[in-house]
Amino acid sequence: MKILNSVKKTLYFSFISILLYPISACEFRAEEKERKPAEEIKVTQTMEAELTRPPLVPKPTAKRAAKKLVVEMEVIEKEMEMTDGVSYMYWTFDGTVPGSFIRTKVGDEVEFHLKNHPDSKLPHNIDLHAVNGPGGGAESSFVAPGHEVVFNFKVLNPGLYVYHCATAPVGMHVANGMYGLILVEPEEGLPPVDKEYYVMQGDFYTKGDFGEPGLQPFDMKKAIEEDADYVVFNGRVGALTGDGKLHAEVGETVRLYVGNGGPNLVSSFHVIGEIFDKVYMEGGSLLNENVQTTLIPSGGAAIVEFEVEVPGEYILVDHSIFRAFNKGALGVLEATGPENDLVFAGKTQEGIYLPEGGEVQSMPISEEEIAASQPPANLSKQEKIEMGKNVYGRTCVACHQTAGQGIPNAFPPLASADYLNEDVNRAIDIVLHGLTGEIEVNGETYNSVMTAQNITDREAAAVLTYIYNNWGNNGTEVTEEMVKAQRRSN
Ligand code: HEC
Ligand SMILES: [Cu+2]
């Protein structure tokens, strides 16, 4: 009886479900009707795709219908500058790192032509993350030097996607710069903004350390160990600084298409001084708001948007911050236009903090006061030593230690230092301009970086005189004129 009962129940529920099924299926279809499946979008016209070099982005697609889109790309292996005095044999899509930006919209049927320049040494291919199909096109696009292949795909999913070479050894092709971005806009297009830019991070592995001059070959061991020498935006140190700065006017909305080619490192993408009003997380459809730093995985992307409220320089960084200041992951967006004191007023007050008295004094401001606070010129040797002691305590002591003894393997000694006593002009030069590379001090090798010290000529003369007249050094007196001469000679 019990069994029969449960069978009845099951039958009953099945019956109900059968009754309900057509209704829910109808509802589902109704929803689908509003958003036509991308496969069903018909294309009639053919159009040559506009491709742009970084940091530029092609025109929005909002105003056009889906089309047959012809993309022409060429693989070029070429030597380019990594940073001042350092070059690298890059492998590229269209001669830039990252490769050309491709802008499509849902429903587009892409006819992709991939050429491999006859001067190339190796075959290459392309895997586009925007493709639904084996290898993202990699298998169909394998192309030998001096050949061209054509393959076709329809873009179905809106989003910002990475493309990259996927020829073995894949890691090496990616590490040499073979990546870029393809944008698939939704049917209605992305909302309009004032400025759009294309930025892509990548990590590089070279035989020599950061800054070591010459043509630097790829280092497989460092790549496997993920020990990057360079982490950069748009293929090289300084691609987005100086002449490469990005621009916006105050009040404009900026949209950055940010990718990460890797091959290894995840980016903590951040713009110093700005908050992302919107982030299309991982380049997909999920919109986040009010974001400080967004993660961009290797082989991934994000679209970030912000309005610029105040003029000034906004610094693009990977907030894994040593990468920014020591490996190159730094760019600049310069905003021009009127100040807005309500949003940002800059430093409005600085006083001297006196905990005991609780009294806050203002800093000297008049020129006379500044002049009076400055020590007079033509100091005697003894006066220089006194002033130098003070300068040393403010600046050099952090690294070279209180008695100039240094720290083994990190900071060379200044006490009884043969290197220091050998050449006074060289020592002046080090204080003014910094020092990198291998040196030997008292029989020990150091290979590190001393940054240029931001001190006046008078302070430099004083601090060096102090050092030369202490801790067993040779008693040299350094004059302001010697420092000035050294500054001029560089
Ligand atoms: C941030 C740490 C740091 C600070 C601050 C610093 N140095 Fe250095 N200094 C170094 C390092 C590191 C080296 C070795 C660089 C290399 O290996 O190429 C060095 C090398 C030197 C040398 C040559 C080597 C030697 O031992 O004679 C002199 C001279 C020197 N520093 C003087 C100064 C003076 C003077 C100041 C302050 C005005 C100063 N440094 C501040 C880190 C520092
Ligand atoms: Cu390749």
In percent, the amount of the chain with pLDDT more than 70 equals 87
Q: What is the pLDDT of residues 156-165, one digit of tens each?
A: 999 999 999 9
Residues 329 and 472 in one domain: no
Q: Among the listed ranges 57-71, 307-321, 448-462, which one has the minimum average pLDDT value?
A: 448-462
Would 157 be classed as within a structural domain? yes
Would 238 be classed as within a structural domain? yes
Q: How many Å lie between the centroid of ligand 2 and the Cα of residue 259? A: 18
pLDDT higher than threshold 90 for residue 67: yes
Atom 10, ligand 1: residue with shortest CA distance: 450
Q: How many Å lie between the centroid of ligand 2 and the Cα of residue 139? A: 13
Q: How many Å lie between the centroid of ligand 2 and the Cα of residue 125? A: 6
Q: Among the listed ranges 151-155, 334-338, 354-358, which one has the minimum average pLDDT value?
A: 354-358
Would 443 be classed as within a structural domain? yes
Q: What is the pLDDT of residue 444?
A: 92
Would 255 be classed as within a structural domain? yes
| CATH number of the domain bearing residue 251 | 2.60.40.420
pLDDT confidence bin for 350, thresholds 50/70/90: low
Residue partners of 482: CB distance under 8 A and separation at least 6:
424, 425, 428, 461
Contact 103, 180 (CB under 8 A): no
Closest ligand to the CA of 434: 1
Atom of ligand 1 nearest to the CA of 426: 29
Q: What is the number of structural domains in the chain?
A: 2
Q: How many Å lie between the centroid of ligand 1 and the Cα of residue 401? A: 11
Boundary residue ending a domain (306, 336, 366): 336
Residues 476 and 329 in one domain: no
φ, ψ dihedrals at 345, nearest 5°: -105, 5
pLDDT confidence bin for 3, thresholds 50/70/90: very low
Q: How many Å lie between the centroid of ligand 1 and the Cα of residue 385? A: 18
Between 410 and 15, name the one with better pLDDT.
410
Mutate to test the pocket of ligand 1, among 387, 389, 430 (most ligand atoms within 8 A of CB): 430
Atom 6, ligand 1: residue with shortest CA distance: 396
Atom 19, ligand 1: residue with shortest CA distance: 450
Ligand 1 binding pocket (C-beta < 6 A) is 395-396, 398-400, 411-414, 417, 419-420, 427, 430-431, 435-437, 439, 441, 446-450, 453, 463, 467
Residues 115 and 226 in one domain: yes
Q: How many Å lie between the centroid of ligand 1 and the Cα of residue 332? A: 29
Mutate to test the pocket of ligand 1, among 423, 450, 458, 473 (most ligand atoms within 8 A of CB): 450
Atom 40, ligand 1: residue with shortest CA distance: 396
Q: What is the pLDDT of residue 16?
A: 43
Q: What is the pLDDT of residue 9?
A: 46
Atom 38, ligand 1: residue with shortest CA distance: 396
Atom 7, ligand 1: residue with shortest CA distance: 450
Boundary residue ending a domain (281, 301, 336): 336
Residues 307 and 430 in one domain: no
Q: What is the pLDDT of residue 397?
A: 81
Contact 97, 52 (CB under 8 A): no
Q: How many Å lie between the centroid of ligand 1 and the Cα of residue 388? A: 15
Would 105 be classed as within a structural domain? yes
| Segments forming the whole domain that contains residue 121 | 46-336
Residues 325 and 444 in one domain: no
Q: How many Å lie between the centroid of ligand 1 and the Cα of residue 454? A: 13
Would 291 be classed as within a structural domain? yes
Query: Taking residues 300-315, what's their average pLDDT?
Result: 96
Q: What is the pLDDT of residue 452?
A: 80
pLDDT higher than threshold 90 for residue 230: yes
Task: Name the pTM for this structure.
Answer: 0.63
Closest ligand to the CA of 145: 2
Mutate to test the pocket of ligand 1, among 212, 426, 435, 471 (most ligand atoms within 8 A of CB): 435
Residues 130 and 254 in one domain: yes
| CATH number of the domain bearing residue 442 | 1.10.760.10
Atom 13, ligand 1: residue with shortest CA distance: 450
Atom of ligand 1 nearest to the CA of 441: 26
In percent, the amount of the chain with pLDDT more than 90 equals 73
Q: How many Å lie between the centroid of ligand 1 and the Cα of residue 22? A: 80
Q: What is the pLDDT of residues 69-97, one digit of tens each?
A: 999 999 999 999 999 899 999 999 999 99
Q: How many Å lie between the centroid of ligand 1 and the Cα of residue 485? A: 20
Q: What is the pLDDT of residue 348?
A: 67
Q: What is the pLDDT of residue 98?
A: 98
